[in-house]
Structure 1
Amino acid sequence: MAVAARRTTADSTSAITKETDTSSSIKKPTKKRPRSTQRPRRATRKSRTNTKATASMEATSTTQPMEDVPVKSTHLTIKEETRDLFNSPPNSILLHACNCRGSWGAGVAASFKKKYPAGFEVHVAHCKANKAESLLGTTQLIPPQASDAKSGKSHWIACLFTSVDVGKKKGSRESILEATGEAMQGLLKQIGEVEDGMTVGSIRMPKINQGLFDVPWERTRAVLEGIEVPELLRSAGVEVVVVELEEEAKQ
């Protein structure tokens, strides 16, 4: 009985196997080649052209810089020109280095005093309201004054306090350069915070510090070029146009 049972079970199993084999022979699934063993497709003329173009572009990009995409510098850009400083476009910022005593008595400061008398009054009031030592390394940004604008002088005036005094009491070169960097950083911050609806133009200035403060222009320029522009102003880029005065160009 046990043997018969085994035989019966085996027969039924073989029958099931035969049915399975019969059904599999009717519809035999196709085996896909592994991805690594599949034959590569023949490239069409269009794909070959695109491949060549891509390779050519990659080769060009590694050997030639993209000249039509300007890169905004994160630092101040200094550009030098020879022209009349006071004939700058409206709303330009005319910058000059000042002492902290409220005196525009000599050098280019005397020209500012003559051309912007209302702006000078604002400057004197600012110096009287603050201690001289506390102004060092700061900047006073004077908006265009109505009476000055009537005479055609619609300019902002930026006074960089780079030395407490003048003459024999002026600061050392190192202290003047340090104050210049701090004052310029303060000016850039103020420009970003102007919210009175007026448009602030480019920054224009003479070669500051080299006159009465006796600091070589190359050293001041190096300080200015090392100043990082705040993120708020980077999208437009900040260019400082250094105007060489006509009398300086003749020397």
Structure 2
Amino acid sequence: MPIQYVAGDLFVNRCHAQALAQGCNCRGSMGAGIAVGFKERYPQMYEEYRRRCKTDPREFNPGDVFLWRADEQPHVFNLATQEDYWRSKATYERVEVALTEMRRQADEATITSIAMPRVGAGYGGLSWNKVKVVIERVFADWSGTLYVYDEFIADQ
């Protein structure tokens, strides 16, 4: 099955995924939730993300995906699921558009394994059960493996 649900810490990456993924806002802020961990572990990725959010016109918009190619794996997919972080929440449509684009970019980059948290269901404010349906629809016939960390367990 191309989707595996796992418990643990995404950053331990015990599944040895080639890439990690996270949901983001389009304002250049990674100040809460798992985004803080990405910001701390990938400072160059964070700076490029901020630049894309702050340009005029903006280069990172709802539904977009920004793939940060790290010198060493794992790479990072940033999914624009929220317009901002203070007023608006994620939407199921943006999650689906971003997941579809992530899958396309993964195929193009020959990335065959991705690990991600419950995108859109934390600070994004969406129902995990509904997001799960979207994930399963988008990745049902994917040739790679998507690891979804649906339960956080520190350091595992």
Q: TM-score, normalised by structure 2?
A: 0.84
Greater C-alpha radius of gyration: 1
Q: Secondary structure at the match of 1:159?
A: strand
C-alpha deviation, 1:83, in angstroms: 1.9
Gaps of 5+ in 2: none
Cα deviations by residue, 1:56-113 (Å, 9 ceiling, x for unpaired): xxxxxxxxxxxxxxxxx7xxx4321112211226662111100001111110000111
Q: Does 1:164 align with 2:79?
A: no
Amino acid paired to 1:114: E
User: Counterpart in 2 of 1:80?
Assistant: 5
Q: Secondary structure at the match of 1:140?
A: strand
Q: Secondary structure at the match of 2:120?
A: coil
Cα deviations by residue, 1:142-194 (Å, 9 ceiling, x for unpaired): 101x4xx4xxxx31110110110112x114x6xx1100111111112112222
Q: Percent identity?
A: 28
Distance 1:106 1:131 in 2: 25
Q: Does 1:213 align with 2:132?
A: no
User: Counterpart in 2 of 1:245?
Assistant: 152
Gaps of 5+ in 1: 1-72
**Maintained 8 Å contact 1:188/1:229:** no
C-alpha deviation, 1:206, in angstroms: 0.8
RMSD between aligned residues: 2.4
**Maintained 8 Å contact 2:62/2:83:** yes
**Maintained 8 Å contact 1:229/1:238:** no
Write the mapping of 1:124-135 to structure 2, written as runs, cut at 5 A. 124-129=50-55, 131=57, 135=61
User: Counterpart in 1 of 2:103?
Assistant: 188
Shift >6 Å, 4+ stretches: none
C-alpha deviation, 1:134, in angstroms: 6.3
Q: How many residues align?
A: 152
| Residues 245 and 183 (structure 1), Cα distance of their counterparts in 2 relative to 1, 3 Å cut | same
C-alpha deviation, 1:124, in angstroms: 1.3
C-alpha deviation, 1:238, in angstroms: 2.7
Distance 1:206 1:219 in 2: 14
Distance 1:133 1:116 in 2: 19
Q: Greater share of helix residues, 1 or 2? A: 1
Cα deviations by residue, 1:102-142 (Å, 9 ceiling, x for unpaired): 11111000011111111111211222236459611111111
User: Counterpart in 1 of 2:133?
Assistant: 222
Distance 2:65 2:12 in 1: 23
Higher relative contact order (CA 8 A, sep 6+): 2
Distance 1:106 1:215 in 2: 16
| Residues 137 and 126 (structure 1), Cα distance of their counterparts in 2 relative to 1, 3 Å cut | same
